[in-house]
Chains A and B, each alone.
Chain A
């Protein structure tokens, strides 16, 4: 008996619930929603990501606590993972002065201390003044001996310890042009490499190369100029970037190592198919010259080989007084955050400028992936092949990335 009664009750409810108008039907839906109303919330992962962005945790982490923050990477190739504290302020005198000081060590025990004061807003930001000082102690920089025919088996290593004080003035007369002078004092010391006995120390392997036994201090003056019309310097798809840097190195103590060095870096980007394909070309050259009787110390000679130039070879594989390098990359967009690349590198070092030609170039070819955020490459993986085998590189930079003028362009190891 109960069953039919329940059914009857349901029927009554059903009948009474039948809307007689469309508006009533909608109101009934609203009635149903009324009992389900609750505050709008986001899922926990979404809330976390939202707060992470809104509260600028990334920026805060990057800016640190009261100016103190971690500094990762940015040491010489082969140093291993580098880390350390940095004190950074960009709000001094309301942004007119930025200051940074850092101390880093690396997995291989390398040390780098650096400080920098920048005045970025002189003359309505048309002039930039950098004052820098750095001390580096790199325990085991690879060295294979001078010349294009150095043997892979000749791998040795040396300690590079230097202290640099420099100032760089940058003038920006127009949107695409930068130029200016730089002045620096360099105190350089080299010693036995710390990777002995696995690799022989360079002072034993190459005792007679210039600068191995005696080091000196340098006063370096330089001028540089840049014409940069790349569409996006952080991830160029079109345009060019042409840089020339000329430096005079004056030996302050021994008067044996006076020389002049010219760095040329020409980059051209040719985008097509709406810039989803790019041919990126680079020609790079370093020439040094001395007066009679002077020499260029080996640690200030250009190097070739490694993740940023001749990718089929080990870091610092070739070294001599002059160097030319050519890179060509074909890059194609796979999706907005990833590009593929096929590349070819060729280059050589030579003891005399007259031998700097296209004969007997060392070469490598390979392929890679470029991971991008906001049209800027933040990581790349390159696999390169050469007559000395296969090299796999994981790098957190663009292959053609430009270093700051001054210390880093006037000296081969940064």
Chain B
């Protein structure tokens, strides 16, 4: 009796091993459940830095054995659209206007007086919180005196790239103003260098603006970042899940959209991509209150470190034992590659270049578990999206930085194009760069992205169809079926194994479900 039941249980497990469900591929996350209570939880940037630097948190890839594949993806290998990410430019090419607009949930500040409701005097560059005549709140940030236009341009440009790549971002606008455009109502306070708060006066405003560069017309320039709709509940971590968010079920270090972000951050030189530069917002959409995850604070991207030009160390960790030991004991004779990078003298760009850039060795300021866990298919997912930006697209978005020096705009666009190409060359070599699979006239078709972007010689693909048992996972080769034509049997699953004999380790399995004579691609798996 017991044995029989065990057999039944095993059968049940086999049932649960079913690979594809009827609703696969799921393109959109199921509607989020209501998050009734989530409090603001701030992180300590110092703790966050040390915790990641010296005790990498989260679950890491095993040293041996099978790697942990990315989760929070559908069976096609793309993240489901939802609170972390949405399909944008690669999947649905955006118009020039859409690329320029970026996130658009809030308009640019209305013309007229801006009322200061908060001020910060920390660091070298000041910042304000202002409200425009429509009662929309904006966070206003400036450039450092040493690098006019640098941080504001970087913020404007990168926010739009992140948006076009599918991430949720604030709506950031470049504004120009004079000191007379600001009003200071009573009750606004400023924390001075001793930590005490006191009334913020017009004189304080004048003195803060002494640390802000003026343009030729005598105007100040700033980024106005519209406040996000909802309640701020602190940044998401790069590992684990939020314990108060019922919808946050995949550890962040295993999310494809976060693993793949490494490639995006490398491209845009977003080395300050610490947890504190993201934010979770509790907002109500469709009548349901839930958490949405935003990338923000792009002032430290491209060649900028917000308050100064970026460090030449961009792309390496703040600290690593091995590198430090080499530098210490060689008495500096050992010169790391980044110390040899050449940067043109463009104050509005800071330090940004492409020649020493190698996307696979680029790292942010501290070890990021999601980035460290990335696998070639995570990288490919991000790389294919980045490769979708044409030179023209890049110039279009760079134009939103409104550089007064055309050389600066040209250099940023050139660097982004060259860095993009290096990303394509690097990551399209790690997996077969075939994508955009579809069925046309009952034949399986795809786009060879390597060929499309002139990265590699066109793949000479060999294809082999097999029957696929969705319940057991068993594949049975269909002898002689090596053409693109979908096998004809009804209500069955088939799998096409695609291989390029010159790169035999790199294969793609495309799963097709024949249902009522309508073949549908339900799954894509990459091996390398």
Contacts and interface: CB of A to CB of B under 8 A. Distances in A.
Nearest to B340: A273
Contacts of B320: 335
Contact of A40 (B193, B243, B340): B243
Interface in A34-65: 34, 36-43, 45-47, 49-50, 53-60, 62-63
B339 A50 contact: no
Interface string B313-337: 1000011100110011001100100
B2 A22 contact: no
Contact of B339 (A26, A30, A91, A273): A273
A19 B21 CA distance: 9
B194 A335 contact: no
Interface stretch (B38-46, B126-134, B162-170, B386-394): B38-46
Contact of A41 (B41, B46, B196, B331): B41
B395 interface: no
Given A26-B29, A27-B30, A50-B44, A7 B249 contact: no
Contacts, number: 171
Interface stretch (B9-17, B213-221, B475-483, B500-508): B9-17
A274 B341 contact: yes
A47 B193 CA distance: 23
B464 interface: no
Interface stretch (A10-18, A208-216, A294-302): A10-18
Nearest to B342: A274
Contacts of A18: 12, 15-16
Name B's interface SS.
loop
Contacts of B8: 11
B246 interface: yes
Interface string B175-199: 0000000000000000111111010
B200 to A, nearest CB: 11
A56 B191 contact: yes
Given A15-B12, A33-B249, A47-B44, A59 B193 contact: yes
A42 B318 contact: no
Size range of the chain B interface in the assembly:
35 or more
B247 to A, nearest CB: 6
B66 interface: no
Contacts of A10: 9
Contact of A333 (B21, B194, B327): B327
Nearest to A57: B195
B196 A63 contact: yes
Interface stretch (A160-168, A198-206, A336-344, A384-392): A336-344
A204 B86 CA distance: 86
B469 interface: no
Given A273-B339, A274-B341, A50 B249 contact: no
A46 B12 contact: no
B490 interface: no
**Which among B8, B26, B30, B191 has the highest number of chain A CB atoms within 10 Å?**
B30
B246 A50 contact: no
Interface of B: 1-2, 5-6, 8-9, 12-13, 15-16, 21-24, 26, 29-30, 33, 37-39, 41-48, 51, 74-75, 191-196, 198, 201, 203, 207, 210, 233-234, 241-244, 246-249, 311-313, 318-320, 323-324, 327-328, 331-332, 335, 338-341, 343, 351
